Amino acid sequence: MTDDELRDAAETAVGQCMAIEPDDSCVVVTDDERIDIGEALYDAASDATGDATLLRYPPGDQHGEEPPAAVAAAMAAADVFLAPTTKSLSHTRARSNACEGGARGATLPGITEDVFLAGLDADYDAISQHCLDVLEQVTEASVIRVETPSGTDITFEPGAREWRADTGIVHEAGGFSNLPAGEVFVSPETADGTYVVDGTMMPHGLLEGGQQLRFDVEDGYVTDISDESVREQVEAGAEQVGRDAYNLAELGIGTNVGVDHLVGSVLLDEKAAGTVHVAIGDDAGIGGDTEAPLHLDGIIKDPTVYADGEEVKLPR
């Protein structure tokens, strides 16, 4: 991996995705394990504005864990923030508070150099259009149903919750995206059925050899988890927040046609066109009302998605 390759990906993030201008203040928030990507983003941001800062702290223990207070304050004070971190800041109050205060930002949770290059070597204007195409098909639906050959059969009712598009284009104050980007998602009011993860899920990474993780859902809560490692993560969250740790937090549809195979990175794989992902735990940062110290995404391959009985045309 060369510095020039990292620099090209960083310039896509700073330029096309975030559109950082000379009068913007920008903070890059990173940790000890992602410092090379953090420095590449800082260097690119420094070329775009004279008000760029690099802030480094030790990696967190869990996705969705709040960062130190100084990190949260820096994010809230900046016009733009970029957060390449080992553990996700996407579903933290620090991130949502910064955006509610007018900062525009992007988180890059669990980013690796390979994923950084693969995910940022993309046409984000095209990805944005794919998001809008899917959004048009699902946004008015009362019931979304997902089925797969591996045994997924689950229905989601968005209710009054708003579908959102993670396009990677974050040019407006208060805007937010993951990078790499490319998904349409909702925090449903309720869900019922079973979903079977056969793609990627932490702590396993890419599931291989026919491995499948089964989750039963009733009235918007996960009631049974087949995998011991995932179950232990949720149980640890439940020690802090009780039943809210089992909240069915998200339904997402991948729209990034540049991601043509799964690699074991949740950040990248959940964006793969033609996949679906379902998450457990916190949804307060994506339009829900549940706060929990975890947000666990599982990627599902080969789904058929129906919106009020009509099959949704997924990007491939």
Q: Give the model's pLDDT for residue 62.
A: 81
DSSP state, 161? Answer: P
Three-state DSSP class for residue 74: helix
Evaluate whether 296 touches 234 at the Cβ level (below 8 Å).
yes
Kindly tell me if the per-residue pLDDT of 1 is higher than 70.
no
Please give the full DSSP string across 210-275, using - where no structure is assigned.
T--EEEEEETTEEEEES-HHHHHHHHHHHHHHGGGGGBEEEEEEE-BTT--S--S-HHHHTTBTT-
Q: Give the model's pLDDT for residue 10.
A: 95
Q: Residue 110 CA to chain centroid, in angstroms?
A: 10
For residue range 81-124, what is the model confidence (pLDDT) as tens digits? Answer: 999 999 989 889 999 999 999 999 999 998 999 999 888 878 88
Kindly tell me if the per-residue pLDDT of 133 is higher than 90.
yes
Evaluate whether 81 touches 105 at the Cβ level (below 8 Å).
yes
Question: Which of 121-130, 235-244, 280-289 is least confident?
Answer: 121-130
Q: Which residues pair with 300 in a beta bridge?
A: 276
Kindly tell me if the per-residue pLDDT of 162 is higher than 80.
yes
pLDDT band per the 50, 70, 90 thresholds, residue 178: confident
What are the structural domains of the chain? 3-120 (3.40.1830.10), 124-311 (no CATH)
Please give the full DSSP string across 170-225, using - where no structure is assigned.
--STT-EEESS--EEEE--SEEEEEEEE-SEETTTEE--TT--EEEEEETTEEEEE
For the residues 123-140, what does the mean pLDDT come to? 94
pLDDT band per the 50, 70, 90 thresholds, residue 78: very high
Three-state DSSP class for residue 68: coil
Kindly tell me if the per-residue pLDDT of 3 is higher than 80.
no
For residue range 19-68, what is the model confidence (pLDDT) as tens digits? Answer: 999 999 999 999 999 999 999 999 999 999 999 999 999 998 888 889 99
For residue range 258-289, what is the model confidence (pLDDT) as tens digits? Answer: 888 899 999 899 999 999 999 999 999 899 99
Kindly tell me if the per-residue pLDDT of 2 is higher than 80.
no
Q: Give the model's pLDDT for residue 124.
A: 87
Kindly give the pairing relationship between strand 304-307 and strand 310-311: antiparallel
